[in-house]
């Protein structure tokens, strides 16, 4: 207890048990985790409002200018929070993105965040329900297919489109079918690169198909591209329009069929080989994660476990599956250190 001439006395309490409990929390790492959690939501809010576009236009903008049309009280505090977290810098009442703020809000960063929070947030927030069986993935708990489509499409065009173009080069494909097309970027990009190509994408998620149709319209290829809602794993039920394809792709979707066991994947490949006797290529792209905690691999692993997509596997366990099927793997494409780790298998009928 001590007294000061300036005001009421201060009584400093000492309780070792309370200190021990608080220190345990501080040392647990949780304070940083909570901050990261909030910052992730804040970055998505930046991108989900006009704020990010305004900040990108730069060079420096006043709070009033940045917050036009937004809640001024929340907005003022939000900008201050972002400055405190190192995303914004402020000088003379004006705000601008720091370098780290720029990096955290690139299209790639926001797409990765969008996949984990937007598309799979509804799943990761329900782990206890899934674990106890109170809820089942696919019925009570579902990912957001439209968000998955939208964010995968951003990543696709940057990282995968050049690989697909390389694999398809010289194969003479005239009509391309993308199985599990999500937001449709593969088909749209391929048709933009080759004005004589026609394309069709199929996906089971109606929300993703809406995103894909909109993408085709925005890129002016809607007259050469169709998108249909269909089950990738039931090829005999695919709409007629799919069946005249002479080039096929399945990107980050085939692994989901391991839910039905390895033989189910082999049977599906065999059915595809029978239905498309004229095909020039079946390009399968699959994530190839490592269990080393790098580049969100653990997060990706968790999502696969929760959604029963068949555990992610390395190429050494994909190749024997292809060997058992009616296909032969001609080439493998990888792209070390550039984008989500993927392996692309260029398959042709045996
Ligand atoms: C990770 S996303 C990949 C999307 C896109 N191919 C890409 O690479 O950006 C997987 C996609 O497969 C689709 N999918 C999963 N199971 C499917 C099924 N049985 N039939 C059709 N599409 C399916 C999902 O709806 C989702 O759009």
Contacts of 34 (CB under 8 A, 6+ apart): none
pLDDT band at 340 (very low <50, low <70, confident <90, very high): confident
Question: Could you tell me if 222 and 343 lie in one domain?
Answer: yes
Q: Of 85, 105, 125, which residue sits at a domain end?
A: 105
285 within a domain of the structure (yes/no): yes
258 within a domain of the structure (yes/no): yes
Question: Could you tell me if 207 and 339 lie in one domain?
Answer: yes
3-state secondary structure of 178: strand
Q: Of 105, 132, 150, which residue sits at a domain end?
A: 105
Q: What is the pLDDT of residues 146-197, one digit of tens each?
A: 999 999 999 999 999 999 999 999 999 999 999 999 999 999 999 999 999 9
- Rounded mean pLDDT, 290-299: 77
Cβ of 212 below 6 Å from ligand 1: no
- The yes-or-no verdict on residue 311 having pLDDT over 80 is no
Question: Could you tell me if 338 and 223 lie in one domain?
Answer: yes
Mean pLDDT of the chain: 94
| CA pair distance 283, 345, nearest whole angstrom | 6
Cβ of 322 below 6 Å from ligand 1: no
121 within a domain of the structure (yes/no): no
| CA pair distance 127, 124, nearest whole angstrom | 6
For position 213, which CATH number holds? 3.40.50.150
Cβ of 115 below 6 Å from ligand 1: no
Q: Bridge partners of 199?
A: 176, 225
Q: Is 65 exposed, middle or buried (0-12, 13-18, 19+ CB in 10 A)?
A: exposed
Question: Could you tell me if 216 and 318 lie in one domain?
Answer: yes
Ligand 1 centroid, distance to 174 Cα (angstroms): 23
For position 39, which CATH number holds? 1.10.10.10
How many folded domains does the chain comprise? 2
Which DSSP symbol is given to 283?
Answer: E
Buried/exposed code over 286-318 (b: 16+ C-beta within 10 A; e: otherwise): bbbbeeeeeeebebbbbbbebbebbebbeeeeb
Q: Of 105, 137, 167, which residue sits at a domain end?
A: 105
pLDDT at 310: 72
Query: Domain limits at 49?
Result: 34-105
63 within a domain of the structure (yes/no): yes
Choose between 14 and 175: higher pLDDT: 175
Query: Which pTM does this prediction carry?
Result: 0.89
Q: What is the pLDDT of residues 220-258, one digit of tens each?
A: 999 999 999 999 999 999 999 999 999 999 999 999 998
pLDDT at 288: 87
Q: What is the pLDDT of residues 320-329, one digit of tens each?
A: 999 999 999 9
246 within a domain of the structure (yes/no): yes
pLDDT at 1: 54
User: Which of 182, 250, 255 has most ligand 1 atoms within 8 Å of its beta carbon, as the pocket-test mutant?
Assistant: 182
Poorest-pLDDT segment among 225-234, 279-288, 332-341: 332-341
Cβ of 233 below 6 Å from ligand 1: yes
12 within a domain of the structure (yes/no): no
- The yes-or-no verdict on residue 122 having pLDDT over 60 is yes
Question: Could you tell me if 186 and 332 lie in one domain?
Answer: yes
Question: Could you tell me if 329 and 198 lie in one domain?
Answer: yes
14 within a domain of the structure (yes/no): no
Question: What is the percent of the chain where pLDDT is above 90?
Answer: 87
């Amino acid at each position: 207890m001590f007294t000061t001439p300036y005001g009421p006395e201060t009584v400093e309490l000492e309780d070792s048990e309370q200190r021990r409990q608080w220190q345990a929390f501080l040392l647990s790492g949780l304070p940083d985790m909570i901050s990261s959690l909030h910052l992730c939501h804040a970055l998505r809010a930046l991108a989900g409002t006009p704020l990010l576009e305004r900040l990108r236009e730069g060079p420096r903008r006043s709070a009033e200018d940045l917050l036009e049309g937004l809640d001024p009280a929340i907005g003022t505090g939000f900008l201050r929070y972002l400055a405190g977290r190192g995303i914004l810098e402020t000088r003379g009442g004006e705000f601008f993105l720091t370098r780290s703020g720029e990096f955290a809000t690139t299209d790639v960063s926001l797409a990765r965040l969008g996949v984990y929070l937007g598309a799979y947030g509804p799943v990761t927030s329900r782990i206890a329900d899934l674990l106890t069986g109170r809820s089942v993935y696919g019925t009570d708990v579902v990912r957001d297919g439209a968000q998955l489509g939208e964010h995968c499409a951003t990543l696709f065009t940057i990282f995968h489109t050049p690989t697909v173009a390389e694999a398809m080069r010289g194969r003479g494909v005239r009509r391309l079918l993308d199985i599990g097309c999500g937001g449709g970027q593969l088909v749209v990009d391929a048709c933009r690169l080759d004005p004589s190509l026609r394309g069709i994408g199929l996906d089971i998620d109606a929300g993703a198909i809406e995103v894909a149709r909109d993408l085709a319209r925005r890129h002016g290829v809607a007259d050469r591209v169709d998108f249909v809602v269909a089950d990738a794993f039931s090829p005999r039920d695919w709409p007629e329009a799919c069946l005249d394809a002479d080039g096929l792709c399945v990107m980050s979707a085939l692994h989901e069929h391991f839910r039905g066991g390895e033989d189910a994947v082999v049977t599906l490949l065999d059915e595809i080989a029978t239905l498309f006797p004229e095909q020039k290529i079946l390009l399968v792209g699959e994530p190839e994660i490592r269990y080393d905690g790098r580049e969100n691999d653990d997060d990706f692993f968790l999502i696969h476990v929760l959604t029963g997509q068949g555990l992610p596997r390395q190429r050494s366990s994909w190749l024997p599956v292809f060997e058992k099927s009616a296909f032969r793997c001609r080439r493998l494409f990888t792209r070390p250190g550039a984008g989500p780790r993927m392996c692309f298998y260029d398959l042709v009928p045996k």
